[in-house]
Amino acid sequence: MKYHLWTIGCQMNEADSRHLAARLRQAGYTACDDARDADLVILNTCVVRQQAEDRAWARLRELEAWKKRRPGLRIALMGCLVGTRSGPAARLRGQLAFVDYFLPPSDLSPLIGTLLPDEAEARSADERDRIGRDAVRDDRTASAAATGGAVTANVPVVLGCSHACTYCIIPYRRGGEHSRPAAEVLAEVRALAGAGVREVMLLGQIVDRYGLDLPGGPDLADLLRSVARVDGILRVRFLTSHPNHLTDRILDAVAAEPRICPQIEVPAQAGNDGVLARMKRGYTVDGYRRLIDRIRSRLPEAAIHSDFIVGFPGETEAQFLDTLRLMEEVRFDKTHLARYSERPETFAARRYPDDVPPEEKERRLQVLENAQRAILTDTNRRFLGTTAEVLVEDRDTKRDRWRGRTPLNRLVFFPDPRPLLGRVVPVRITWTGPFSLLGEPAG
Ligand code: SF4
């Protein structure tokens, strides 16, 4: 049996797809790149912006036509288009009668249940789901082994989000936050390390809140230290932090444990208090500045990444320029920039007209992108002539060179005939650009 897995969206989706792919392989399925050759097509969807949702609907329409010609084709829909709430999911089932399986985000049981062929047939849907859930829990560890030779892996630790940023659809689709038990996370990381993974990224919408819902903890600082001590793991990263929840304990764990990379992903979203208030982010620009000072006092070398949304309803030119000013002041090591996209069900969609014209959103986005490129062109110059410890992740076959990253998440390319996949090697930096560095072996 052949399967085709189409994945868009965030690292959470990537982790869910990695897990499902591993389970399908264990169940005897083989992957195929061309969906037309597949017996089972799975769409892992994202709805964080309208564009992503439109792509999912376009694939669904295509599959509906295919199914008419090939009634035996099985189709599974997963991710945030399905969501965790029964109401919208029931509506979706009504709209998409040609889809066979609906998998809420990070819950693969509706499909995994059917992959246990003998049992699946004989049991009811609920029993299949229960078997699936049990299988899922045990599976995350088992399937970790089938990483396809990857050197890095994403590991969800907090699922869902209980915050209520007014523009964000995630709480409506992934539900409230809940932490995975530490033992389960560590078992998965050990299995990943056993399969050759050398770096893990711990994931959560607000990863700093890990363990707050688990009686007696551990918290994220504890979990980071434990993961960093797993044999075979050379590097640990984590995202996404929130300005109100990134504690000194977490920063101290990063400072104390060399395997935890000094990379802090903490979205500001805007540089103006009025916009932040309407976003219900829960902090002010000055509060955010104090956080940056706190990070830099404990981790002077840290790479700080942030997210910004331009064109939020009501954003004036002056408020936008405040955002630009904050970016130029902090000089982030990486930014994820996006135009505001009105999402259904959100507070902003219900209360604020989407009044910044699309061409103006585009202009503001360009301004920030150009500013970030100039900042990185300048800040990356400091790496020229230095030697960086690069974890080799992949081979760039087109240019016959290795690709890897430094602890500060700089992308580095360098030529070397040796088999270096999964190793940390010293590389002398010979060229710097805004988004990558070039180098040569230094040892
Ligand atoms: S913190 Fe805000 S932006 Fe992030 S997932 Fe939660 S609601 Fe969405």
Long-range residue pairs from 300-304, CB within 8 A, at least 24 positions apart, any chain: 301/262, 301/408, 302/254, 302/262, 302/263, 302/264, 302/408, 303/262, 303/263, 303/264, 303/333, 303/334, 303/408, 303/409, 303/410, 304/264, 304/266, 304/330, 304/332, 304/333
265 Cα to the center of ligand 1, angstroms: 13
Per-residue model confidence (pLDDT) at position 31: 95
* Best of 159, 166, 167, 170 for a ligand 1 pocket test (most atoms within 8 Å of beta carbon): 170
Please give the distance, rounded to the nearest whole angstrom, from the Cα atom of residue 157 to the centre of ligand 1. Answer: 16
Q: If residue 277 lies in a helix (H) or strand (E), which one and from where to where?
A: helix 273-279
Angstrom distances, CA of residue 199 to CA of 73, 147, 219, 354, 390: 37, 12, 20, 41, 12
| Segment among 142-146, 158-162, 406-410 with least mean pLDDT | 142-146
Exposure string of 370-389, with b = 16+ CB inside 10 Å and e = fewer, is ebbeebbeeebeebeeeebb
Ligand 1 first shell, C-beta below 6 A:
161, 163, 165, 168, 170-171, 205-206, 242
Q: What is the pLDDT of residues 1-55, one digit of tens each?
A: 999 999 999 999 999 999 999 889 888 899 999 999 999 999 999 999 999 999 9
Which residue's CA lies nearest to atom 2 of ligand 1? Answer: 165
pLDDT value, residue 118: 54
- Cα 134 to Cα 117, 267, 327, 339: the distances in Å are 15, 35, 46, 40
Q: In angstroms, what is the span from residue 294 Cα to ligand 1's centroid? A: 22
Phi, psi at 260, each rounded to 5°: -90, 120
Q: What is the mean pLDDT of residues 149-166?
A: 95
Instruction: Fill in the DSSP letter of residue 176.
Output: S
Instruction: Tell me the pLDDT band of 119, cut-offs 50, 70 and 90.
Output: low
pTM flag (> 0.85) = yes
* Residue 300 DSSP label: T
Residue 180 DSSP label: P
Q: Kindly state the DSSP code that residue 406 receives in the 8-state scheme.
A: -
CA 219 to ligand 1 centroid distance, Å: 19
pLDDT at 391 over 90: yes
Q: How confident is the model at residue 146 (pLDDT cuts 50, 70, 90)?
A: low
Residues 258-272: what's their mean pLDDT?
A: 98
Q: Whose CA is nearest to atom 1 of ligand 1?
A: 163
* Cα 168 to ligand 1 centre (Å): 6
Beta strands (DSSP E) in 340-415 are 387-396, 401-405, 411-414
Atom of ligand 1 nearest to the CA of 162: 6
Q: Which domains does the chain have, with CATH numbers?
A: 2-139 (3.40.50.12160), 150-380 (3.80.30.20), 384-441 (2.40.50.140)
Please list the alpha-helical segments (H only) found in 123-201.
125-144, 170-174, 182-194
Q: For residue 218, is the peptide bond before it cis, meaning its omega torsion is within 30 degrees of 0? A: yes
Using CA atoms, how far apart are residues 161 and 371, in angstroms rounded to an integer? Answer: 31
- Determine which residue's CA is closest to atom 8 belonging to ligand 1: 168
Residue-wise pLDDT for 318-342, tens only, equals: 999 999 999 999 999 999 999 999 9
Atom of ligand 1 nearest to the CA of 171: 7
With both helix axes pointing from N to C terminus, report the angle between 248-256 and 285-298 in degrees, rounded to the nearest 10. Answer: 30
Q: pLDDT at residue 310 above 50?
A: yes
Q: Which of 242, 72, 67, 37 is nearest to 158 (CA)?
A: 242
Pocket test for ligand 1, best of 47, 106, 168, 306 (most atoms within 8 A of CB): 168
Q: Token pair for residue 129? A: 């789901």
Residues in the chain: 443
In sequence order, what are the residues at sequence separation of 6 or more whose Cβ sits closer than 8 angstroms to the Cβ of residue 242? 163, 206, 208, 209, 266, 267
User: Which atom of ligand 1 has the smallest separation from the CA of 169?
Assistant: 8
Packing angle, helices 11-26 and 125-144, rounded to 10? 100
Pocket test for ligand 1, best of 159, 165, 178 (most atoms within 8 A of CB): 165
Residues 134, 138: Cα–Cα separation, whole Å: 6
Residues pairing with 44 in the sheet: 7, 78
pLDDT at res. 26:
84
Q: Between the CA of residue 387 and those of 34, 151, 199, 411, 442, what are the distances in Å?
A: 42, 22, 20, 14, 7
Q: How confident is the model at residue 411 (pLDDT cuts 50, 70, 90)?
A: very high
Distance from residue 159's CA to the centre of ligand 1 (Å): 12
> Which residue has its alpha carbon closest to ligand 1 atom 5?
205
